[in-house]
């Protein structure tokens, strides 16, 4: 929620939606936004797959950031809960506006390869060089929890950017 909060604070003309399934994290984000009088931050307790497939209207989102999706090492859970598959990418394409940006970050090589494969199959999403993708993201002074931990522990991570045609 801290990254969500910082993005909303630094970009008051944006509506910043955060999707999280853990109740405590959503409650923390709501309390922080209320404390600081931020009315442009929307923490929702909702699975991203549901939000992109059935809740958000078509071509309504300028930026989607998928930060360090859980790899689900257990094979049974992996099949059920792994985020990036062809259906999820189709749903991302549906809600992104033309010119909208998809940003992904992961420190798990297998997840990076899967993201590259399924997003690479998309005809609607075009990869961007890192510098161009970074320049399109809104200003934010806060790193995600996992990004901070990777930097602290010297763990490399993969960043990717795509634009919707």
Structure token digits, residue 97: 């506006």
Half-sphere exposure of residue 129, counting CA atoms within 13 Å on the CB side? Answer: 2
| pLDDT at residue 81, rounded to an integer | 65
In angstroms, the CA 25 to CA 162 distance is 28
In angstroms, the CA 106 to CA 86 distance is 18
Q: Which residue has the higher pLDDT, 162 or 4?
A: 162
In angstroms, the CA 61 to CA 49 distance is 15
pLDDT, tens digit, for every residue of 36-72? Answer: 999 999 999 999 999 999 999 999 999 999 998 877 6
């Amino acid at each position: 929620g801290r990254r969500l909060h910082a993005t909303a604070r630094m970009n008051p003309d944006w509506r910043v939606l955060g999707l999280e399934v853990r109740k405590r994290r959503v409650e923390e984000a709501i309390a922080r936004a209320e404390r600081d009088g931020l009315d442009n931050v929307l923490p929702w307790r909702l699975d991203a797959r549901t939000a992109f497939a059935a809740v958000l209207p078509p071509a309504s989102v300028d930026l989607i950031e998928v930060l360090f999706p859980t790899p689900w090492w257990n094979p049974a859970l992996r099949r059920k809960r792994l985020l990036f598959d062809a259906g999820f990418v189709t749903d991302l394409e549906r809600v992104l506006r033309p010119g909208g940006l998809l940003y992904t970050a992961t420190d798990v090589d297998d997840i990076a390869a899967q993201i590259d494969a399924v997003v690479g199959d998309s005809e609607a999403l075009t990869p961007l060089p890192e510098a161009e993708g970074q320049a399109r993201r809104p200003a934010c002074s806060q790193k995600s929890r996992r990004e901070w931990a990777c930097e602290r522990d010297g763990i490399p991570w993969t960043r990717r950017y795509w634009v919707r045609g």
